[in-house]
Amino acid sequence: MTHKYYIVGNWKMNQSLSEISTFFKDLGTLPDNKKYEAWIAPQAIHLSKVLENGIKAGAQNVSDNNTGAHTGEVSPSALIDLGAEFTLVGHSERRAIYKEDNDFINRKLRLSLEKGLKVILCCGESLEERENGMTESVVNRQIELGLQDVHEANRSDIIIAYEPVWAIGTGKTASPSQAEDVHQSIRTKLIELWNEEAAKEAAILYGGSVKPSNVAELLNQTNIDGALVGGASLKGADFRALCDAAEDQKE
Ligand code: 13P
């Protein structure tokens, strides 16, 4: 529902320096006045390398502290200092493997916004939760707690990514109508938490086995404003195909 699509590559813990060079060679030059934003989230150590190639980049994770004795963490201000645009928070891999809860995710989100990053808040249900009819309640809770106490002025810097856990890296994409149903309920939740205007402006991205062959019909849904892409974002030609599909969408 926003005016711009987002194609966001989450490279996870992949790509060497030479693979990154090949990626940009294969990607080619993106047009200037495009209908979409193309963003990459590499491993934090590769952010400068990605930024050198003139594409907007951000982090896959961020600290809930901005400075001090937090060995191994990356602070929001250090990301800003480097020229990063955004950070993901609450990716399902961080929730599942590193036991991040909604409260911790909310602290990272608020601090990142305060320091000037845009934030992509990830949410999504497991297969078991879907099969038990809990999709909407799980996602709504993640949104509600993830967005708690956000200042009104920061709402426009928040992007939501709906990523059903069962569709991530499995080759099983949610059907466009399955995804659209959840996106619509997220939009309704945002209206309840914020207001109609702010909710309509918010970009809601879909993630989970998005690839060049299925991206167009996903983007074609009313409440799908872009894609957060893992596997199919690793090769420059595939990422380019995703971008071109966004450009080809009707307004
Ligand atoms: P895949 O596109 O590999 O399924 O990963 C999705 C994802 O987790 C993006 O954040």
DSSP secondary structure string for all residues of 90-117: --HHHHHHS---HHHHHHHHHHHHHHT-
pLDDT tier, 1 (very low <50, low <70, confident <90, very high otherwise): low
- Please give the average per-residue pLDDT across 236-246, as a whole number: 98
Q: Which residue has the tokens 């990626």?
A: 23
pLDDT in tens, 49-69: 999 999 999 999 999 999 999
The H or E element that residue 41 is part of is strand 36-41
Give the percent of the chain with pLDDT over 90.
Answer: 94
pLDDT at site 32: 87
At the topology level, CATH places domain 5-247 in TIM Barrel (3.20.20)
31 to 39, 47, 84, 104, 218: CA distances (angstroms): 14, 22, 21, 38, 22
Per-domain boundaries in the chain: 5-247
10 lines ligand 1 (CB under 6 A): yes
**Interatomic CA distance for residues 120 and 91, integer angstroms:** 9
pLDDT of 123 above 90: yes
Q: Is 129 in the pocket of ligand 1 (CB under 6 A)?
A: no
Return the bridge partners of 37, or none: 6
Q: Yes or no: say if 204 and 160 are a contact pair by the CB < 8 Å rule.
A: yes
Which DSSP category does 147 fall into?
A: T
Atom of ligand 1 nearest to the CA of 231: 3
Atom of ligand 1 nearest to the CA of 233: 2
**What is the Cα–Cα distance from 224 to 205, expressed in whole angstroms?**
6
**Which of 203, 122, 108 lies closest to 164 in space, CA to CA?**
122
Using alpha carbons, select from 145, 73, 85 the residue that is nearest to residue 115: 85
The arithmetic mean of pLDDT across residues 91-100, rounded, is: 97
Task: Select from 93, 127, 87, 92 the least CA-distant residue to 107.
Answer: 87
Task: Tell how far the Cα of 163 is from the centroid of ligand 1, in angstroms.
Answer: 8
Q: What's the mean pLDDT in 11-26? A: 98
3-state helix, strand, coil in the chain (%, to 5): 45, 15, 40
Q: Which amino acid is at 11?
A: W
Residue 33's pLDDT band (boundaries 50, 70, 90)? Answer: confident
CA 58 to chain centre: 10
* pTM, 2 dp: 0.97
Catalytic-role residue among 100, 163, 180, 183: 163
